[in-house]
Amino acid sequence: MNIFRNIILGFDNFFLYFMIIWGSILFIITIISHFLNWKNIRRKKFKNEIKKDFDMPVSVVLPVYNEEEKIIEVIDSILNLDYKLYEIIIVDDGSKDKTVEKIIKHYKLKKIEKVVRKKIATKTVNSYYEKNGDKKIVLVEKIHGGKSDTLNAGINTARFPYIFALNANVKMEQNSLNEMMRPIIENKNVSVVIGSIKKMGEFTKSYLHMKEEIQHNRFVSRRNVFDLYNGNIISEEGILLFKKDVVIEEGGYKRNVIAEDSHLLLSIHQNALSNKKSYKIKYIWTTIGYTKYANNAKELKRKEQKEIRGLLQSIMNHKNMFFRPKYKFVGTFSCLYYIVLTFIAPFLEMLMLISIILSCILNYISITTMIMYLLIYILFGTILNIMVMLSEESIKTMKKIDYSYMLLYSFVWNIGFRQISNLNNLISIIYLKDNKQKTNF
């Protein structure tokens, strides 16, 4: 019994130390992140930095599948971009609704004969439709092959050297393309630019919206720190701006993966670092678009599980980068950070709670000691949530009363809701090889 008691108490101490160390790491990264945001927000704005006469040509690629309800609104937001020289390439992945018909009718597109050189293998393209004007619109109608295949078809069709890959779930800010092109104009070594996406719609103070805000901010809020060391490996909603040649060299977006964007970013990192190329994957903190809140708990759960599965799958597909000096920050920190954040930390948290409660039941520790452990656990979680939510971007996009509810929920979230979220993380990992989500948009 003494051996069992010592093992349980040893676990208790280990979990406590892990929680304090991991929490401290997150706290420090978050502080640095806020400092960088503060610097960015107060940095002098250069007016007319991107001259209209010198706009670099960009191909905006929009993959769509069964989007008839919102497709016109999304395309209109792209047409309203404050940028002079770009084309819009809409790639339909064999929609079963009236997406194609609506696009053709609304924008008066004409069917054309078009010869496209396939630099990336894709499913068969059935037809092309086009409308010339100030903003050229091209519609590509192809056999269903999944999101990666659809994006690759758009890259093949693109005329211009830069690709702005979008998502039909995101409504773009008018200045988004200017903001995304800015790092490329400032630094010729920038190969990819990652933007920041916020939630839109009425914030209802519901558990669902609060959970989504906290989860979203905890997952992506520290990326400007990673940007210092060229270590970003995730995007939001798959929205990226990149040099076309760089992605073609990688063979395009990889098919049959859950998170094609993370997989592409890791592949670019690996290729460039292996071959000692000068490159930069740049994150910009400026909001470039908005996506809606989940409609219900089931939709949010499915979305969160897909994000975690996709990220971990992409990381494990590049596991040969781990701990190898030539892969620098990506191999020694970025990949491991997200493995701990999405899997190891939730798993150890669950074990910690079980171990502490079991210790109290078996009278190995007193109720007072158990409460102390739990209070430390809740305190760390609350502080981190509040730190994440105190970004100026978050404050600007929410009302003061909404923010008060969010701060209160930052505390309440650690009592039951956080544990459910951790369990959801672990379940999503168990079903990592589930093929049903691989081609979903």
Encode pLDDT of 323-343 as tens digits.
999 999 999 999 999 999 888
DSSP assignment letter at 281: E
Instruction: Compute the distance between CA of residue 383 and CA of residue 185 in angstroms, rounded to an integer.
Output: 38
Instruction: Compute the distance between CA of residue 324 and CA of residue 414 in angstroms, rounded to an integer.
Output: 36
26-31: long-range pairs with CB below 8 Å, 24+: 26/222, 26/384, 27/383, 27/384, 27/387, 29/222, 29/225, 30/221, 30/222, 30/384, 30/387, 30/388, 31/387
What is the model's pLDDT at position 144?
94
- pTM for the model stands at 0.89
What is the model's pLDDT at position 215?
74
Name the E strands within 154-229.
162-165, 170-172, 190-200
Q: Residues spanned by CATH 3.90.550.10 within the chain?
A: 56-328
The SS3 call for residue 343 is helix
Residues of the chain with pLDDT below 70 are 1, 41-54, 201-207, 390-403, 431-441
What is the model's pLDDT at position 396?
54
Largest Cα–Cα separation, the chain: 81
Instruction: Compute the distance between CA of residue 373 and CA of residue 355 in angstroms, rounded to an integer.
Output: 11
Average pLDDT, the chain: 86
> Do 143 and 123 meet the contact criterion of CB atoms below 8 Å apart?
yes
Instruction: Compute the distance between CA of residue 142 and CA of residue 20 in angstroms, rounded to an integer.
Output: 52
What is the model's pLDDT at position 50?
47
Give me the CATH code for the 56-328 domain, please. Answer: 3.90.550.10
The terminus-to-terminus CA distance of the chain in angstroms comes to 54
Share of the chain above pLDDT 90, in %: 47
Instruction: Compute the distance between CA of residue 121 and CA of residue 399 in angstroms, rounded to an integer.
Output: 48
